[in-house]
Structure 1
Amino acid sequence: KYKIYLKRNHYSRDASASHYVFEEVSKVLPSLHFLGHYDLAISFLDPPHIVQTKVNASKKIEWIHTDWGSHKFNYDLLYKYWKANDYIISISRAITLSFCNAFPGLENKIIEIENILSPSLIRQQALTLSPKEMQNFDGLKVISVGRLSYQKNFECIPHVVKILKEAGINLHWWILGPGQRLEINQAIAETGTQEEISLMGPRDNPYPYMAACDIYVQPSRDEGKSITVREAQILYKPVIITRYATSSSQINSGVDGLICDMNIQAIAEAIRSITHNKEMRNKIVDYLHTHDYGNESEVNKIYKLLNL
């Protein structure tokens, strides 16, 4: 009965450049009005130019996931597109505050809707056959999931692994996700960690890998509210994240995971600490087993926007 158009755009570290390019490109793209009228059109990741200029919809929404305090941007260029939305969806309180500080005057358009997760579905998908390469390894299993990009900071991982190897820790680190491998491959070659790191590429179902790991690590430079961190927690895995601007909105350090400083030595020390301190690790895992991270009811906020 209700038609929704969802457009996912691409993340850029330089928001001004990204939006300028999309504004120019959108001028030559054909209109999507031939698809008919939609009740709701959503631009799932900025910039919103295509939804704003090419789609026929009663309501238009921009969904923001990133910390705008960490981006370079042209206020005048972006403000007009943000203002044209009926609503702007933020995935966390920290993202809301960051956005409203960057774009004062748009506070009345903001609605907070967390990333919608179903623990039962995630745990069910994790029950498929465990990856053989993880089954056959008897050391410390570490995993990270995300695209290979500047934001995710995965190129630091080989240097972390080298420190842990030199400390006598037998580990293997699996990295799942698409992206450009040149920089991380250079770091792997430089540190001699070819045997300890596997670049797995994208996986339709990363949950068996998460379920088989000992620790999940997100070494990002910035995040909005990482969905993979929540997924790992749902699978009862100790999580380590770096101290980016919004990290405290996702992890209560020492309770449901660890937050460490954003440098190679600190990440290595956090992994070493959670590996050797069984009492702390068990405390975190016990908490995860008793805490409900499900929020399927968040979808009702979307229905409300459609007046359902």
Structure 2
Amino acid sequence: MSLAISPAARAALEQWLDHLRVLDGVAANTLKAYTADVSGYLAFMAGHRGGGEGLAALATLPHADLRAWMAHERGRGVAARSLARSLSAVKGFTGWLAEREGLDATAVLSTRSPKFRRKLPRPLAEDDARAMISTVADQSTEDWIAARDQAVVTLLYGCGLRISEALGLPAAAQPLPEVLRITGKGDKQRLVPVLPAARAAVARYAALCPFDLTSGVLFRGARGGPLNPRQIALVMERARNALGLPATATPHAMRHSFATHLLNAGGDLRAIQELLGHASLSTTQAYTAVDSARLMEVYARSHPRA
């Protein structure tokens, strides 16, 4: 049974989380995951080393202790991908602590993450994406709900929005402008062009919606409250069954498709990164299933030669 985390370690964890929240704008869900990951790590170390660890000891733990923790996590069924995320959180906390305390955290920071196969997203073919947009409108007998579902899916594919971003649009955003300012993960803002088809789809929904759209969110559920993302997932499930598409044809797949089809049409990877709101180019590369040959092609075409 693990011992309690020392008060000093718990206080340091809270200060690190506050730092991430205030200075780095890290999203609430990410902070929640970091809290669980690092708290579990600190509790394990307290038990493994026989007591609540002081800050200096935490920052300078040897490789053997890190390996013991990782083995413990794998032993209780934690997948390699989840363990890699936990280790990343531990390194972030330890690096911050070492810098603050003037300590050498080389052993912790140099610990290798477990290898895992990164799941590549599966975008829809262009014809299938267009068919999905039209077919979701056939899944409801109420015109306004059919128009609503089609407008949401059009925004996912036409603008590359996350489902949370589309459903979080305020009613005041209608009529949609030619460029939307979207607040994404970590409260980071980006500008996204809006295609005429997306503006038209949202305008049709707004005209048919039986609820007051002068305040609150733009997209409403059947009783007038905010639309639950599960409803869009369900209507897309029915549409993909009607079209014979695989289970990977989800709301998020429409965002993948947006990026992939832009890239296939010659779009610049950095520009697509900005449109998607990714902090890292490697994330965009995974979303778009780009191979090394395609990256080299973009590099060869875009690099400013001397």
User: TM-score, normalised to structure 1's length?
Assistant: 0.31
Bigger helix fraction? 2
Bigger strand fraction? 1
Query: Which structure has the greater CA radius of gyration?
Result: 2
Higher RCO by CA contacts (8 Å cutoff, separation 6 or greater): 2
User: TM-score, normalised to structure 2's length?
Assistant: 0.31
